[in-house]
Structure 1
Amino acid sequence: MKKYLNELLEKAKITSVQRQENASIIDDIKKLLGSQFDAPVYFRRGGSLAKKTANIYDADIDLLCYLDDSTNMTLEQIYEDTYLVLSKTYIVNKKNSAIEILGKQDDYSWDYRIDIVPGKYVNYESSYDVFYGVIKIKRN
């Protein structure tokens, strides 16, 4: 049984080609967002791709996008500005704690699920965390 399960897991692994495609998409998003703010922007992969547990049947790209603590922007401003920048290139949907990319403008072959999670680095003496707050989004 263990051997059978390992074989199934091996067949469902993300391929190196898929990893390369994911890396290319992430690079494009980093270029879009990297210079749009008043402070340095940092990126970190999250979810199953970061944990290397992604499979071909259900894998999305989670990209944490957080600003340096030198920014004067609120979390809501970071979220809204991220949404506006992404919406110029991608079809996007607002979620409570992320911006979901549903496709690329004028690209009907898009086959990825991406969640961009905007945040703000918080540097307190006792804590070195990133604040990803759940904010209320006004639906258009």
Structure 2
Amino acid sequence: MVAQNIAYLREHGPSPIAELPGRQIRPADRKADIRRFTLTVSGGTRIGGSCSTVAYLAAHDRKAVLRTFLEDNPGVIANRRFRDFQKLLSEMNREWKAPSREIRDEFFDKPDEKDADGHPQPSEQECPHCGDAVSFGEIPNHIRNGCEAFAEV
């Protein structure tokens, strides 16, 4: 079964374990450089409900592994911010953080598009002192560096 699993992964790239010919990874598979990827939170509980595990070869690109995992486990990213996902990755192994940054826009909203509760966030807001339109979250900087209401006379 090891040879079949390796051949499958070489042909198809990172894949959910359920798609492997052997449908599981045994110790002999691990000795043959087959790895597995899933995310868990403290205490061993999987995030986003039940997550499928992705099998990959040690030589596979980490971005491809993450893409496969996120595509096969949409509950992991539902209503989550990228920062939360990265925290889980760093608890697991820091080697996954850099590749996750490279694919973030494929799966996550831009950081300023949602607030901490997942609600849409405006791109601009009105300065309460002078009425200028200011990028969201930039009111303090605007007041320090350009608000007409605080300009020296």
Report the TM-score range of the alignment, normalised by the length of the smaller protein: 0.3 to 0.5
* Structure with greater contact order relative to length (CA < 8 Å, sep ≥ 6): 1
Structure number having the greater helix percentage? 2
Structure number having the greater strand percentage? 1
Q: Which has the larger radius of gyration?
A: 2
After TM superposition, the score normalised by the length of structure 2 is 0.31
